[in-house]
Amino acid sequence: MKAVTAIDQLAESYDLVVVGAGPAGLSAAARAAELGVGVLLVDENPAPGGQIYRAVTTTPVSDRDVLGADYWRGAEIVARFERSQASYAGSCTLWSIGPDAAVPEGGGFEIGLSLDGRARLIGARQLILATGAQERPFPIPGWTLPGVMTAGAAQIALKSAAIVPAGRTVIAGCGPLLYLLAGQLAAAGAEIVAVLDTTPRSNWLKAAAALPDFLRSPYLAKGLKLMAKARRSLRFVGGVTGLAAEGADKLATVQVERGGSVETIACDTLLLHQGVIPSVNLSNAAGCTHDFDTVQHCWVPRLDDWLSSSEPGIAIAGDGAGIGGAESAALRGEVAALGAAHRLGRLDASERDRAAAPLRAELARALRGRRFLDLLYKPAPQFLAPRRDETIICRCEEVTAGQVRDTAVRLGVTGPNQMKAFLRCGMGPCQGRLCGPTVVELIAEANGTTPAEVGYYRLRPPVKPITLAELAALPQSEAAVKAVVR
């Protein structure tokens, strides 16, 4: 591995640029480099690992049992990448993807990178986006109060800084990761006073048909172990139908509804989590087509067998391609790398297919049982589209659920882009990452349509913040000057 620590150490262009150094990106970059492709891997975090393996090479957590064997496996993935010839730029964000004007016949990309406050545009013949997932927004009344954060955030704090919430901690939500996080935090010494499960009871029925696959899947043993461990040691409250965080300037209590009854729990920290969804901001801004996946209940990019998107030359691997978990992320990274290497002329079709066959078999095994989990942990409607009007749904612009509903109905707004123009939701610095899914859900509900019909925000570069000075320092063209100075 060649470390790039300053923006001017980057080459003018690379055969392949991989974005994101989680399992998908690390595996894609390593595989492609092993095939002789000139690769650059960039990640905005200072150290490789992505979400699951965050800080795996630098973590101050010394007790290996706290994070579990699955976490430490990441060290091998990082080590393989480090043995490769790929270049790696940490603390480097990719903020734009555009066509490369220098390639007259089209096909190449010009990508905008920023490192240490300086931006540069470089060329890339092929791109693999491995930007992973984010936690699904969990808009409840009071979720903007200090003291409320995502469960994933607490995990990040634990992995990267070996710190745990002090004082009474409540974890709420649903999804396979919820139990993992609860278990890890408890093992690390956090005082978890309750785990509030919002999984709708009716989901068990819907998921039942997918149960046989799940019973033969690798998830099963792992999942049961996690759940058993969490249930044994922690207070576990199922069937939660409503949640609200309360407090003046910071969290003081959480209100828990279960059917008709309400319980108030005093706490210092509330950790929210209701699954993860692909991060689509970059692929959306790059122009890739997305579809609404009704099982995973989120937008996913439309991909072919080689994980190539609708934009030729852009492949998407890992959880950004649809949630599959760490193992499948790494496998999909490799498949995408084979596809890119083939398009770059490094592998002929038969070599590529032969190399991919065992990966595909493993992928099928890794994904078996996923459907069961997706159906079981699909969040309840009231946690996707909050019922209480005063609930903030756009944290940046402080737009409420009531405003979105009212505007949808009264002003005839059928989609998020017009909603954004009218209410500013999605216009703040997070660029809709924390409100997009909720806005879509609220509009669909108000108009009696589906998320697929409602659509999603149309996103534009920069997908990550960059200063005006950085933009101003980039190359100009004569035509561009003419278009501006009139």
Ligand X SMILES: Cc1cc2nc3c(=O)[nH]c(=O)nc-3n(C[C@H](O)[C@H](O)[C@H](O)COP(=O)(O)OP(=O)(O)OC[C@H]3O[C@@H](n4cnc5c(N)ncnc54)[C@H](O)[C@@H]3O)c2cc1C
Q: How far is the CB of 211 from other proteins (least distance, A)?
A: 33
What is the SS3 assignment for 34? helix
State which of residues 15, 135, 441, 445 lies at the interface with other proteins (CB under 8 A).
135
Q: Which residues 349-408 are close enough to bind other proteins by CB under 8 A?
A: 395-398
- For other proteins (CB under 8 A), the number of binding residues is 96
| Nearest residue (CB) to other proteins, 255 versus 414 | 414
For position 339 contacting ligand X by CB under 6 A, the verdict is no
Helix (H) or strand (E) holding 120: strand 118-129
Quick one: 103 or 156, whose CB is closer to ligand X?
A: 156
Cα distances (Å, whole numbers) of residue 56 to 59, 167, 203: 6, 27, 35
Q: Could you say whether residue 424 binds other proteins (CB under 8 A)?
A: yes
**Is position 68 an interface residue for other proteins (rule: CB under 8 A)?**
no
**Least distance to ligand X, CB of residue 180, Å:** 6
User: Which one of residues 17, 25, 298, 443 is an interface residue with ligand X (CB under 6 A)?
Assistant: 25
Q: Which does 221 bind (CB under 5 to 8 A by kind): ligand X, other proteins, none?
A: none
- Residue 79, classified by CB atoms within 10 Å of its CB into exposed (0-12), middle (13-18) or buried (19+), is middle
Site for other proteins in 313-332 (CB under 8 A): none
Task: Single out the segment in contact with ligand X by CB under 6 A; choices: 2-10, 119-127, 130-138, 229-237.
Answer: 130-138
Nearest CA to 181 among 161, 152, 159?
152
Binding mask 227-266 for ligand X (x = CB under 6 A): ----------------------------------------
Restricted to residues 310-329, the positions that interact with ligand X (CB under 6 A) are 318-320, 325-326, 329
Give 156 or 252: the residue with its C-beta nearer to ligand X. 156
Residue 51 in contact with other proteins, rule: CB under 8 A: yes
Radius of gyration of the chain from Cα atoms?
Answer: 23
Instruction: Give which of ligand X, other proteins, none residue 307 binds (C-beta under 5 to 8 Å, depending on kind).
Output: none
Applying the rule CB under 8 A, the residues between 228 and 257 that interact with other proteins are: 249-250
β-pairing verdict for 118-129 and 13-19: parallel
State how beta strands 168-174 and 191-197 pair: parallel
d(CA 292, CA 3) in angstroms, rounded, equals: 38
- Nearest partner of 11 among 122, 88, 99, judged by Cα: 122
For the CB of residue 71, give the shortest distance to other proteins in the complex, in Å: 15
Q: Could you say which residues in the range 441-460 bind ligand X, by CB under 6 A?
A: none
Q: Which of 18, 42, 61, 344 binds other proteins (CB under 8 A)?
A: 61
Helices marked H in 344-369 — which ranges?
A: 349-367
User: What's the min distance (Å) between Cβ of 418 and other proteins?
Assistant: 5
In 229-307, the DSSP E strands lie at: 236-237, 242-246, 253-258, 261-266, 269-274, 276-278, 290-293, 298-301
CA 126 to chain centre: 22
* Contacts for 264 with CB less than 8 Å, ≥ 6 apart: 253, 254, 255, 256
Residue 130's binding partner out of other proteins, ligand X, none, with CB under 5 to 8 Å set by partner kind:
ligand X
Q: Is 21 in the site for ligand X (CB under 6 A)?
A: yes
- Residue 50 engages ligand X in binding (rule: CB under 6 A): yes
The option from other proteins, ligand X, none interacting with 485 (CB < 5 to 8 A, set by class) reads: other proteins
Residues between 84 and 113 with contacts to ligand X, criterion CB under 6 A: 93-94
Distance CA 426, CA 433 (A): 8
Contact of residue 275 among other proteins, ligand X, none (CB under 5-8 Å per partner type): none
For 64, 77, 101, 162, 163, the CA distances from 61, given in Å and listed in that order, are: 7, 19, 47, 5, 9
Q: Give 196's strand partners.
A: 172, 237
**Nearest-angstrom CA–CA distance, 217 and 34:** 31
Interface positions, 278-307, toward other proteins (CB under 8 A): 279, 287
Around Cβ 34, how many Cβ atoms within 10 Å? 17
C-beta closer to ligand X: residue 207 or 323: 323
Q: Among 231, 360, 418, 452, which residue interacts with other proteins (rule: CB under 8 A)?
A: 418
In the complex with ligand X, the residue whose CB is nearer, 55 or 256, is 55
Which DSSP state fits 391?
A: -
Residues 32/39, Cβ–Cβ less than 8 Å: yes
Binding site for ligand X (CB under 6 A): 19-25, 42-45, 50-52, 93-94, 130-135, 152, 155, 177, 180, 276, 282, 318-320, 325-326, 329, 463-464
